[in-house]
């Protein structure tokens, strides 16, 4: 798991009981070497397993980050590291039969899919990425929950069916959101009514370039932010989820999946809305 001490990463670390933290490529390679020496000294055969790399993904390109290292399959230094692992048969000797890049949307962008394909060819193993956002509720003490395996896509699946995995990174633009009378909004309040000035400050703490369609069960909102629209007595609605760590909007209409955006600073979002009327 990435050692970066952000709020979401800390929550995942609290859920997963047995994990190893790394700050970059060198630490990961050194760690795998130590594990291999332990395994080679063990007379018992290795237990079959996946190597799960857990961290945030980069905005727009959705490439997995471990500490300060971005796993980009088009980067020669990244490919060289995985080539060394393949040459030494490090992962098979550890019992690893697949690698999973567990960050948000790592199988959804062209850069992410190219990385999955590059690593799979280099390692000659199954390499998986995710569709949609991942957060602490997707994990159990043993790691990534089997209940959420439908969010994962293998490199060969994406290669065989590229049309089924379009680029789905979305940008947040208030003007594209439906203007609704609050009484007819698809999901009833509670609402926090904001001014346009507060709305601009709220948008500044949201990662507005990292949206993706909701996948899986719908999440209940904590509350909804109502932003004035140009149409009198109508508002643009923003759902706030998971204690302010994500927001959800419906630019395609409420009959379509909502689009989730991560909040870069949940505490700042909370501070902005705490003094607003709750209706």
Give 37-82 pLDDT, tens digit per residue.
999 999 999 999 999 999 999 988 999 999 989 999 999 999 999 9
Residues 105 and 223 occupy one common structural domain: no
Is 2 a domain residue? no
Is 278 a domain residue? no
Report the domain count for the chain: 2
Q: Is the pLDDT of residue 21 over 80?
A: yes
Residues 118 and 222 occupy one common structural domain: no
Q: Is the pLDDT of residue 208 over 90?
A: no
Residues 227 and 144 occupy one common structural domain: no
Residues 90 and 122 occupy one common structural domain: yes
Q: For residue 55, what are the contacts with CB-CB under 8 A and spacing of at least 6? A: 1, 2, 4, 9, 64, 65, 66, 67, 102, 103
Residues 258 and 144 occupy one common structural domain: no
The mean of the pLDDT values for the chain is: 86
Q: For residue 161, what are the contacts with CB-CB under 8 A and spacing of at least 6? A: none
Which of residues 117, 143, 164 is at a domain's end?
A: 164
**Model pLDDT, residue 6:** 75
Residues 83 and 210 occupy one common structural domain: no
Residues 269 and 181 occupy one common structural domain: yes
Which of residues 135, 164, 193 is at a domain's end?
A: 164
Is 101 a domain residue? yes
Q: Residue 77, class by beta-carbon neighbours within 10 Å (0-12 exposed, 13-18 middle, 19+ buried)? A: exposed
User: Which residues span the domain enclosing 186?
Assistant: 174-273
**What's the mean pLDDT in 142-153?**
88
**Model pLDDT, residue 159:** 61
């Amino acid at each position: 798991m990435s050692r970066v001490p952000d709020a979401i990463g800390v929550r995942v670390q609290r859920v997963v009981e047995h994990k190893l933290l790394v700050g970059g490529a060198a630490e990961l390679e050194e760690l795998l070497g130590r594990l291999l020496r332990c395994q080679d000294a063990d007379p018992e055969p290795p237990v079959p397993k996946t190597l799960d790399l857990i961290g945030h993904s980069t905005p727009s390109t959705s490439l997995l980050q471990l500490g300060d290292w971005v796993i980009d399959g088009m980067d020669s230094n990244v490919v060289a590291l995985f080539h060394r692992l393949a040459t030494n048969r490090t992962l098979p000797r550890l019992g690893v039969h697949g690698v999973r890049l567990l960050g948000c949307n790592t199988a959804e962008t062209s850069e992410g899919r190219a990385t999955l394909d590059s690593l799979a060819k280099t390692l000659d193993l199954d390499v998986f990425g995710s569709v949609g956002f991942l957060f602490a509720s997707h994990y159990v003490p043993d790691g990534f929950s089997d209940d959420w395996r439908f969010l994962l896509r293998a490199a060969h699946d994406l290669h065989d069916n590229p049309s089924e995995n379009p680029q789905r990174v979305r940008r947040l633009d208030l003007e594209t959101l439906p203007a609704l009378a609050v009484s007819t909004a698809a999901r009833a309040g509670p609402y926090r009514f904001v001014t346009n000035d507060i709305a601009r400050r709220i948008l500044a703490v949201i990662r507005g370039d990292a949206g993706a369609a909701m996948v899986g069960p719908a999440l209940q909102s904590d509350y909804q932010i109502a932003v004035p629209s140009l149409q009198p007595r109508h508002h643009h609605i923003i759902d706030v989820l998971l204690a302010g760590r994500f927001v959800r909007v419906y630019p395609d209409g409420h009959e379509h999946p909502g689009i989730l955006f991560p909040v870069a600073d949940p505490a700042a979002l909370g501070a902005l809305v705490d003094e607003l009327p709750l209706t």
